[in-house]
Amino acid sequence: MRNLPPEILARFDDILKVRNVSLFYRPAYRKWVRYFWDFQAKYPLPGERSVQVRMFSEKLRSKGQAAGQVEQAADAVSLFFACQLKLQASSSTTRTGVVQQEAVQGDPERPREQNAVQPAPAKEACMIREPPGPPTYAERSERRKGRYDDWRCLKKSGYPAWDSIIAQLADEISTKHYSRKTLLHYANWSRKFQNYLSHKDPTQLSSQDVKSYLTYLAVRCKVSSSTQNLAFNALLFLYRHILKRDFGDHKDIPRAKKSTYVPVVLSRDEVQEVFARLGQPYQLIAKLQYGCGLRCFEAVKIRVKDFNFDTGLLTIKGKGGKSRTVPLPNRVVPELLAQLAFVKKLHADDLAAGYAGVFLEDQLEKKFPNAAREFQWQWFFPQESLTVIASSKEKRRYHVHDSRFQAAMYLAVRKAQLTKRVTSHTFRHSFATHLLQANYDIRTIQTLLGHADVRTTMIYTHCVPSKTIKEIKSPLDF
């Protein structure tokens, strides 16, 4: 792959700063520009830049790139064209000065009209879109339209009976207010089931079809037990709620034996090692995860109104819309107050700039029209840049996306050179385990974690060795 000239790369970095492209997206933008630079050298392209962008996008799609990646690449190429325009403008300015000097001196052998300075050509207009924002739940712009539609499992397959089944499945999941991930997995496994049966008529399906498919997954595909059980749950939902029939007593349906899972737990020193290598606001997010036992999505979706510094409590909206309160760690209260002051200043600047407010879930904005601009509804960890709604041209602010936090966590763990496989959820495991080591009862930990069943919390007892096990010595130590 050819390298970009240094002057073009430097100019492109300047344009990324001017256009307020987030630091998180800049490496990806540089990558797409390098790909396009190499693409220009390999293939003959027309002079029209819009056609070049379309051909480059079609090439990326043929390589299996996702729709969001193709769109990001198109934005990067449009910025690259703006970079070329600026370079051409600067070079033409230098050239114009030379021409003007020659014109002033004049050429005695040329007519006077030819010595006159010709007007410089007008700059070519270049429409540049703002970089795409993170995915939103409440309102999606046309540029990011169809986050659901981008999923291949929800697109039409050419079999109307099955397409109708999948549409009913999506409606049923939305009616029950299940998460988007549930919709993705259930629709995906239903499509795989359809392909396995060679698009058999849905009215002719039976429990024997499910049995043969799950056997095929376990024997031929050698999937894990969790994958096999996920497929079973998806097909069970499909039969019960969409096809309106049941498996019966499920005795003939193979179920995978659930493997024993022992969570990865960090020591207190290892937790501090990771904290020391995280920048803000990711360090504060990680401290809340470890100090309050939060899930990743719970930590990034905290709003200003969720804090009660008088009583030292934090209200969390967890899985399934279930809320709980957890005590705030006293050690991070000064950092939380500093973050609150930052959010207050950012909110004041946003209001002065005339932005439309934050994103609200469901129909909250219709119920409370002014809530999106009120301070208590602002995200406690706001996104750096504003997200533009293409349909209304409004600018709204989203919270820090969990993918950014996970990327920062990945780099911090690598820098700390830990031998354990650490993710953002490891802080939640460490929170529960360290409370057990401090002799807190299992029911208290269950309440703090928001588990519906105490058996889910009991898994952390495997992370704390009992005194009997500690007293046993290995034969190597005899």
pLDDT, one tens digit per residue, over 360-385 is: 877 777 788 788 888 888 889 988 87
Per the annotation, the verdict on 199 as an active-site residue is no
Per the annotation, the verdict on 290 as an active-site residue is no
User: What residues does 394 pair with on adjacent strands?
Assistant: 389
Same domain, 167 and 311: no
E-strand stretches of 252-377: 307-308, 313-317, 323-327, 357-358
Among candidate residues 106, 129, 160, the one where a domain is terminated: 106
- DSSP string of 14-71? HHHHHTT--TTTHHHHHHHHHHHHHHHHHS---S-HHHHHHHHHHHHHHTT--HHHHH
The dihedral over CA atoms of 372, 378, 379, 381, expressed in degrees to the nearest 10, equals 140
Query: What total of structural domains would you count in the chain?
Result: 3
Round to whole Å and give the CA distance between 283 and 427: 12
Of the residues 11, 295, 347, 399, only one is catalytic, namely 295
Same domain, 325 and 413: yes
Res 100 pLDDT > 80: no
Mean pLDDT score, 314-324: 85
Same domain, 336 and 217: no
Res 129 pLDDT > 60: no
129 is a domain residue: no
Same domain, 13 and 73: yes
120 is a domain residue: no
Per the annotation, the verdict on 244 as an active-site residue is no
Domain hosting residue 14, numbered range: 6-106
174 is a domain residue: yes
User: What residues does 39 pair with on adjacent strands?
Assistant: none
Round to whole Å and give the CA distance between 371 and 360: 8
Percent of the chain with pLDDT over 70: 79
Mean pLDDT score, 328-337: 90
Per the annotation, the verdict on 295 as an active-site residue is yes
Whichever domain contains 65, its CATH number is 1.10.150
Per the annotation, the verdict on 410 as an active-site residue is no
Same domain, 422 and 276: yes
Paired tokens of 384: 């750096």
pLDDT for residue 250: 60
Lowest mean pLDDT among 70-74, 138-142, 199-203: 138-142
Of the residues 2, 319, 415, 443, only one is catalytic, namely 319
Show Cβ contacts of residue 268 under 8 Å, excluding neighbours closer than 6 positions: 434
Per the annotation, the verdict on 152 as an active-site residue is no
Round to whole Å and give the CA distance between 140 and 387: 10
Res 469 pLDDT > 60: no
Among candidate residues 71, 106, 141, the one where a domain is terminated: 106
123 is a domain residue: no
148 pLDDT band, cuts 50/70/90, is: very low
**253-291 confidence digits (pLDDT tens):** 666 666 677 888 888 899 999 998 888 889 999 999 998
277 is a domain residue: yes
Of the residues 287, 428, 429, 434, only one is catalytic, namely 428
Same domain, 299 and 395: yes
Paired tokens of 419: 């031998």
Mean pLDDT score, 94-106: 44
**16-53 confidence digits (pLDDT tens):** 877 777 777 778 888 888 888 888 777 777 767 777 88
Round to whole Å and give the CA distance between 457 and 465: 16
Same domain, 340 and 371: yes
Same domain, 274 and 159: no
Q: Is 124 helix (H, G, I), strand (E, B) or coil?
A: coil
Same domain, 47 and 178: no
